[in-house]
Amino acid sequence: MSALQVQAGELLASGKAEVVIGYGEGTRGRVRPVFVRTRADVSLLVFDGRCTANLTVYLAKPEVGRMGKAAIVATPGAVRSLIQLIAEHQVDPGEVVVLAADDDAVTLLTDPAALEAYAAAHPVTIPPEAKAVTESLARMSAQERRAFWDAELSRCFKCYACRSACALCYCTRCITDMNQPQWVCVAPHALGVMEWHLNRAMHMAGRCVQCGSCTSACPAGIPIGLLAMEASRSVEKEFGAQAGLRCDAPPALSSFAADDRESFIL
Amino acid sequence: MTTELTFEPKIVAFVCNWCTYAGADLTGTSRIAYASNVRIMRFPCTGRIDYNLVLKALEQGADGILISGCHPNDCHYSTGNFHARRRWVVFRHMMEYMGFDLRRVKFAWVSAAEGAKWAEVVNTTVREIRELGPATEYTELHRKGVA
């Protein structure tokens, strides 16, 4: 039995958790989420390099909430999104236990201070391909950037996998689903797609924890996480607030400072 | 008879009720003439001006956008303009990142006493947008349709 399975079994046996949300073996060599509710089933749990999906996305689901107190297997990115969910009062820190896993070890985190310490010790890692795209975008002119995003977004058929994979897209009614008034064109045409992704990026500003879940969920292979990441980086650069590091952080775009930059205002 | 077709930009102005709308009113009552290219939309506060309104205006064929409200510390609701200012910083950044021309979206603080400033802001905007020509980036997206 792996260290993860042992720890999960102890949590279930002691009643500290009633369900362990983790990764299990799926089909075609892929992993899938598993919800382990008995000690006998802990053998289903696996953790390796294939486990990149952010499982904290399940914490906001009412059917998962009904399973009782949860323990969650979390990558460093998932730990950050859990911190952000706590800061946004979506998760009660007392209601969830974290089995933080990285390549080397499994760490049990039970309180906000431990989560914050873990997040501080595991800084954001940007995959090399995302770094390469970011660097080439920085060298482009506005027209070239327009053409780049037009080409990338032309592959989007609005399956909303990016939204479903995102732990912080927890609104029960999304702006893109509204039709009175209809803010975002529903069709997956050039305009509707651009508006949807711009809206998502604006709604993730100061909240995206850069876990990379949306990019890996995209069936069209669009580096879609870059938009939300860029919005969050803009907030970090301008207002000094990085998402997913503090459980008591104020919401970046619902707060302000008297000396925020206004050089662009006439 | 000859008809000369010159480009007249359409500018949509989103303004707050308490400062800029009153300021624009003062421009009129002071008999200051300014460019008639602007369509003024009155909102309760700059904090109410959603970036989606800007997107909708561009989508419907606006060549330029002007957003204006109370100076900092003058907001009728105390903090609406401070919140708006933060949102605009991020919105501008995202527009730039996606390759849109930021020169078409202008921001200003115009108080209820600044009738002359309003005229100047509108005239400057109209002049600059006229030089840029008709907005095409956004309407181009319309034309492209389904990929």
Q: Which segments within chain B are labelled E, that is strand?
A: 11-16, 38-43, 64-69, 105-109
pLDDT digits (tens, 9 = 90+) for B83-132: 999 999 999 999 999 999 889 999 999 999 999 999 999 999 999 999 98
A15 plus A102 within the same structural domain: yes
Whether B44 maps to a domain, the answer reads: yes
CA angle in degrees (0–180, nearest 5) for A117-A208-A67: 75
Domain span holding position A33: 3-121
Domain membership flag for residue B120:
yes
Distance of alpha carbon A156 from alpha carbon B144, whole angstroms: 14
A240 and A161 in a common domain? yes
Domain tally, chain B: 1
A264 occurs within a structural domain: no
- The question of ipTM being above 0.90 is answered as no
Domain membership of residue A52 (yes or no) is yes
Q: Which one of A121, A146, A167 terminates a domain?
A: A121
Q: CB-CB: which of A189, A198, A202 is closest to B146?
A: A189
Residues of B in contact with A241 (CB under 8 A): none
- A95 and A161 share a domain? no
- DSSP run (H or E) holding A16: none
Residue given tokens 């990929």 in the structure block: B147
Residue B5 located in a structural domain:
no
Question: Do A132 and A117 share a domain, yes or no?
Answer: no
How high is the mean pLDDT of chain B? 90
Convert the pLDDT of each residue in A213-234 to its tens digit: 999 999 999 999 999 999 999 9
Q: Which residues pair with B38 in a beta bridge?
A: B11
Distance CA A258, CA B82 (A): 7
Residues of A in contact with B97 (CB under 8 A): 137, 145, 227, 230
In a domain, A259, yes or no: no
State the nearest Cα–Cα gap between A252 and chain B, in angstroms.
Answer: 9
Q: What token pair was written down for B105?
A: 């979206």
Domain residue limits at B45: 11-144
pLDDT one-digit tens code per residue, A70-121: 999 999 999 999 999 999 999 998 889 999 988 778 889 999 999 999 999 9
Domain match, A179 and A221 both = yes
Amino acid at A196: W
Same domain, A110 and A155: no
Q: Is A149 within the bounds of a domain?
A: yes
pTM: 0.90
**In chain A, how many domains are there?**
2
Please answer whether residues A32 and A26 qualify as being in contact, where contact means their C-beta atoms are separated by less than 8 angstroms. Answer: yes
Q: Would you state the pLDDT for residue A188? A: 86
Cross-strand bridge partners of residue B40:
B13
Q: Is residue B139 part of a domain?
A: yes
Q: A144 and A248 share a domain?
A: yes
The CATH number linked to B39 is 3.40.50
Q: Is residue A266 one of the residues assigned to a domain?
A: no
Distance CA A41, CA A224 (A): 36
Residue A207 and residue A165 share a domain: yes
- The partner residue sitting opposite B86, judged by closest CB among A145, A149, A239, is A239
Provide the pLDDT for residue B147: 45
Which residues of chain B are within 8 Å of residue A202 when distances are taken between CB atoms?
Answer: 51, 87, 90-91, 94
